[in-house]
Structure 1
Amino acid sequence: MFWPLCEAGEAVAAARESLAGSAYRGSWLEAAPRERRDALLLMTAASGRGGLLRGRGVGTLRRRFFFKAIRAWFNFLQTLINVF
């Protein structure tokens, strides 16, 4: 269950980065002031931390966190094996 959550978090983060890049590459400089403001708000919101999948006490659920958690779990198991 943990891996799919981290993969979903990775997909959400990638989509947000893509959205900000697409808005930036658009013709927002030639747009009307209202559309320009909306594009700037979209770029700013997409580069923030809101909307990402997070776990209480663990941070953002992404692939990097998954591998860090798995590594910590195996280190814990290795310690138990060495103790007993």
Structure 2
Amino acid sequence: MKIYKYKDSVYCDEDLSCEYDNYAGDLYDLYLDLKEDNKCGETTRYYVCDKYTGYDEPEELIEEEFSDLVIGEYESED
């Protein structure tokens, strides 16, 4: 599972609040922060500003278009 960092906050679909003091939520939370900063938006589909590629889910947009924000991967201990 990928871990993303944006504006000094860490995001991952796994709850990493015990490992990171700056854990801010899952990929949807990251999407909302990126949207607030006009980095992406949504209509019927999710998209990156200045690009024409659309995505059905915000998590898909994050994984495909914001890979530069990945700082590591989390491996579940299951």
Higher CA-based Rg:
1
**Which structure: greater strand fraction?**
2
For normalisation by structure 2, the TM-score amounts to 0.27
TM-score for both structures, normalised by structure 1: 0.26
Q: Which has the higher helix share?
A: 1
**Higher RCO structure (Cα 8 Å, ≥6 apart):** 1
